[in-house]
């Protein structure tokens, strides 16, 4: 069964394979193109360097008119990531555009890592440390990075 | 298994690297929303961005912003970019031919590229390109719109014993079987066709272009003359066509269930289902109806109704699959979609090999990009 949404997801996958931006990759589940596994490598020269953060993306027939739901399944310590891995990212909510694709989503999340938005905290502790105690913040990030290897 | 379908997807990356300009053209003739070649192009008079009619109409149901630049955009600010549609049709019909020609004229460097048309087309790209009289071996007529010429053998014209019009040899049986239905269509084609063929023959490119091109422009003419009869354009493929009334947008909040049901009924749509289903059905129908009006090659209303039913079935299928049933709308906080039973650790363990492979690929990208930067 092929629907416009599925066809678009095939296209997203093809684009991602042909020209994937630095340090991100995603692939649909073998038996369900509506669910994707993805990986984001922590950007170099940031505390997130060497992290291999795993995510799951969940699409439905409203894609690309509505964004997918994206969740970290690696443990994440970040001002804009909830304890259960859900993200607080504008492009996945109010600033979504149907012109975005999987590659754009993953790239945005990658840049969110080192460029958090402490004004809309999903993790109050991380946001507070980010503002007030950067050294401790970095230490916690490094812990997250090490956990992401498992 | 499901992923095999991706082989049928045409993409700008099919153009060899030696022709970056073609990649750019291919990219720019695509809709920014669905990434397919544009169909029924609508341009925003506000910012100049162009989309498929159906894509932008559906997008504007969700948010009244241009998806490319976030400028405010309303449907009345969209205008038909008809010339662009025609351009896209030319491009669509010659794309596969040109790709195949390139593939054979250049070195083996892009032998691995598989050139295929979209999934609707079942003909396979041919390996050999011959010159001169054997041009008919050229993988011709791969255009979706060109349903009326099933064979590549389009050059021979014969006089129809019924209506005395010149008809393509390959179509004469079909033409007679349909009581010369298509005769004025073929008539209009005839003059333009010979003219076009002369010019293209000399150049030796786009060998079957003449046929496709004129079918396209003829359809446009037809549509202009007779907007309400898409069946004219489709010829005999639609036997009996229902013509449904033009829908209009509704403010659902002021309509009672019974009023809404009556409106749906009057439009010729099913009036069963929950309130949400009724509203969604109406909204989707309005988008589809007007997008069809914008199309260079409109479908019959019967076909549109079938597609609407198919769409509803798909939406319901994913909604009930259990995985996405708690999906949040735009602007709301993301809710727990993966379900309360989801356990990250278990999932990671079960998919360890998938993630290992992803990691490897992501690292390879990293290396590739770094090298390119140096």
Kindly report, residue by residue over B274-330, the tens digit of the pLDDT. 999 999 999 999 999 999 999 988 999 999 999 999 999 888 877 665 444 344 333
Burial class (CB in 10 A: 0-12, 13-18, 19+), B257: exposed
* Per-residue model confidence as pLDDT tens digits over A113-123: 999 988 888 99
Q: Which residues contact B292 (CB under 8 A, 6 or more apart)?
A: B40, B230, B298, B299, B304
The distance from CA A118 to its chain's CA centroid, rounded to whole angstroms, is 17
The whole-chain average pLDDT of chain A stands at 91
Nearest to A35 among B70, B323, B348 (CB): B323
Predicted TM-score (pTM) of the model is 0.70
Looking at the predicted structure, is the pLDDT value of residue A22 above 60?
yes
Task: Kindly determine whether residue B327 and residue A27, on different chains, have CB atoms separated by under 8 Å.
Answer: no
Q: Are A79 and A144 in contact (CB under 8 A)?
A: no
* Both structure tokens of B192: 């333009």
Q: Is the pLDDT of residue B120 over 70?
A: no
Q: Return the closest-CA partner of residue A36 out of A14, A69, A5, A7.
A: A69
DSSP letter at A6? H
C-alpha neighbours within 13 Å on the C-beta side of residue B356: 6
To the query of whether residue A88 is one of the catalytic residues in this protein, the response is yes
List the single range of A30-39, B104-113, B266-275 with lowest mean pLDDT: B104-113
Q: Residue A110 belongs to what domain range? A: 2-147
- Over chain B, what is the mean pLDDT? 71
Q: What is the ipTM of this complex?
A: 0.90
Confidence of residue B35 (pLDDT cuts 50, 70, 90): very high
Q: How confident is the model at residue B367 (pLDDT cuts 50, 70, 90)?
A: low
Q: What is the CATH number of the domain that holds A25?
A: 3.10.110.10
A120 touches chain B (CB under 8 A): no
Banded pLDDT at B338 (limits 50, 70, 90)? low
ω into A64 cis (within 30 of 0):
yes
User: What are the tokens at A73?
Assistant: 């399944």
Pick the closest to residue A81 from A42, A109, A48 (CA basis): A109
Give the whole-angstrom CA distance, residue B80 versus residue B373.
42
**Res B195 pLDDT > 60:** no
Asked if pLDDT for residue B356 goes beyond 80, the answer is: yes
pLDDT on residue B107: 55
- What confidence score (pLDDT) does residue B187 get? 44
| Beta bridge partners of residue B43, listed in sequence order | B50, B79
Strands (DSSP E) contained in chain B are 41-44, 50-52, 78-80, 157-159, 166-168
Report pLDDT digits (tens) over A74-101.
Answer: 999 999 999 989 999 999 998 999 999 9
Angstrom distance (rounded) from CA A64 to CA A12: 11
| Minimum distance, in Å, between the CA of residue A24 and any CA atom of chain B | 5
User: Over the stretch B218-273, which tens digit does the pLDDT of each residue have?
Assistant: 444 444 444 434 333 334 444 466 788 899 899 999 999 999 999 999 999 999 99
Two structure tokens written together for B292: 């069809």
User: Where residue B182 falls among pLDDT bands split at 50, 70, 90?
Assistant: low
SS3 B144: coil
Of residues A19 and B66, more confidently modeled: B66
Angstrom distance (rounded) from CA B165 to CA B182: 10
What's the full length of chain A, in residues?
A: 150
Query: How many beta-carbon pairs under 8 angstroms link A with B?
Result: 167
CA distance A57 to B214: 45
Domains and CATH numbers, chain B: 1-124 (3.30.40.10), 125-239 (no CATH), 252-323 (no CATH)
- Cis? peptide before B195, omega within 30° of 0: no
Q: Measure Cα distances from B370 to A25, A41, B146, B152 in Å.
A: 16, 14, 46, 48
* Mean pLDDT, residues B101-129 taken together: 51
Per-residue pLDDT band for B104 (boundaries 50, 70, 90) equals confident
What gap in Å lies between CA B287 and CA B32, rounded to an integer? 18
Q: Is A86 on the interface with B (CB under 8 A)?
A: yes
Residue B246's Cβ-side half-sphere holds a number of Cα atoms within 13 Å equal to 6
Closest-CA distance of chain B to residue A54, Å: 7
Q: What are the tokens at B71?
A: 């400028």
Number of structural domains, chain A?
1
**% pLDDT > 70, chain A:** 99
Tell me which residue in B35, B328, B357 faces A8 most closely, judged by beta carbons.
B35
> pLDDT band at residue B106, thresholds of 50, 70 and 90?
low
Q: How confident is the model at residue A149 (pLDDT cuts 50, 70, 90)?
A: confident
Q: Do B323 and A96 touch (CB under 8 A)?
A: no
Alpha helices in chain A (DSSP H): 4-18, 102-114, 124-132, 134-147
The residue-averaged pLDDT of B79-96 equals: 93
pLDDT of residue A140: 94
Nearest CB among B321, B348, B363 relative to A73 is that of B348
Bin B35: left if φ > 0, else alpha if -120 < ψ < 50, else beta.
Answer: left
**Residue B184: its H or E element:** helix B183-203
Residue carrying the six token digits 């940031």: A46
Tokens describing residue B232: 């004219």
Evaluate whether B145 touches B121 at the Cβ level (below 8 Å).
no
pLDDT at residue B194 greater than cutoff 60: no
B331 with A1: Cβ contact below 8 A: no
B9/A67 CB distance under 8 A: no
Distance between CA atoms of residues B324 and A144, nearest Å: 28
The answer to whether the Cβ–Cβ distance between B369 and A85 falls below 8 Å is no
């Amino acid at each position: 069964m092929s629907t416009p949404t599925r066809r678009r997801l095939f296209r997203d996958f093809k684009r991602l394979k042909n020209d994937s931006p630095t340090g991100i990759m995603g692939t649909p589940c073998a038996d369900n193109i509506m669910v994707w596994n993805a990986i984001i490598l922590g950007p170099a020269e940031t505390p997130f360097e060497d992290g291999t953060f795993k995510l799951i993306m969940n699409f439905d027939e409203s894609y690309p008119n509505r964004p997918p739901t994206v969740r970290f399944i690696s443990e994440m310590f970040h001002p804009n990531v909830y304890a259960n891995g859900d993200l607080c990212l504008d492009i996945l909510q109010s600033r979504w555009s149907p012109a975005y694709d999987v590659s754009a989503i993953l790239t945005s999340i990658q840049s969110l890592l080192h460029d958090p938005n402490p004004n809309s905290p999903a993790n109050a502790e991380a946001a507070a440390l980010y503002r007030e105690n950067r050294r401790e913040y970095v230490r916690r990030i490094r812990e997250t990075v090490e956990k992401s290897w498992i | 298994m499901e992923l095999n379908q991706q082989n049928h997807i045409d993409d700008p990356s099919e153009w060899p690297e030696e022709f970056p300009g073609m990649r750019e053209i291919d990219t720019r003739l695509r809709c920014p929303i669905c990434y397919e070649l544009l169909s029924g192009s609508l341009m925003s008079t506000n910012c100049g961005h162009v989309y498929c009619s159906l894509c932008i109409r559906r997008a504007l149901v969700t948010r009244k912003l241009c998806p490319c630049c976030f400028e405010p955009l309303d449907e009345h600010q969209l205008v038909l970019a008809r010339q662009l549609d025609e351009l896209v049709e030319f491009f669509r019909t010659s794309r596969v031919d040109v790709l195949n020609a390139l593939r054979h004229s250049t070195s083996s460097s892009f032998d691995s590229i598989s050139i295929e048309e979209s999934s609707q087309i079942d003909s396979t790209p041919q390996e050999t390109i011959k010159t001169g009289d054997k041009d008919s071996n050229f993988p011709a007529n791969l255009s979706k719109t060109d349903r009326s010429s099933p064979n590549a053998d389009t050059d021979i014209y014969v006089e129809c014993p019924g209506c005395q019009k010149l008809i393509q040899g390959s179509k004469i049986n079909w033409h007679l079987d349909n009581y010369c239905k298509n005769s004025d269509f073929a008539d209009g084609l005839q003059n333009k066709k010979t003219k076009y063929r002369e010019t293209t023959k000399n150049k030796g490119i786009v060998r079957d272009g003449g046929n496709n091109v004129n079918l396209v422009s003829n359809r446009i003419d037809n549509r202009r003359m007779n907007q309400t009869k898409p069946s004219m354009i489709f010829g005999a493929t639609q036997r009996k066509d229902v013509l449904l009334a033009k829908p209009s947008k509704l403010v659902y909040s002021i309509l009672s269930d019974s009023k809404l049901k009556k409106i749906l009924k009057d439009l010729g749509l099913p009036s069963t289902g929950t309130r949400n289903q009724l509203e969604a059905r109406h909204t989707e129908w309005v988008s589809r109806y007007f997008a069809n009006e914008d199309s260079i090659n409109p479908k019959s209303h019967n076909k549109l109704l079938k597609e609407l039913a198919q769409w509803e079935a798909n939406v319901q299928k994913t909604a009930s699959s259990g995985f996405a049933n708690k999906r949040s709308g735009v602007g709301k906080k993301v809710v727990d979609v993966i379900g309360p039973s989801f356990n990250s650790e278990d999932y990671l363990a079960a998919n360890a090999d998938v993630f290992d492979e992803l990691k490897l690929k992501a690292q390879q990208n990293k290396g590739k990009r770094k090298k390119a930067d140096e």
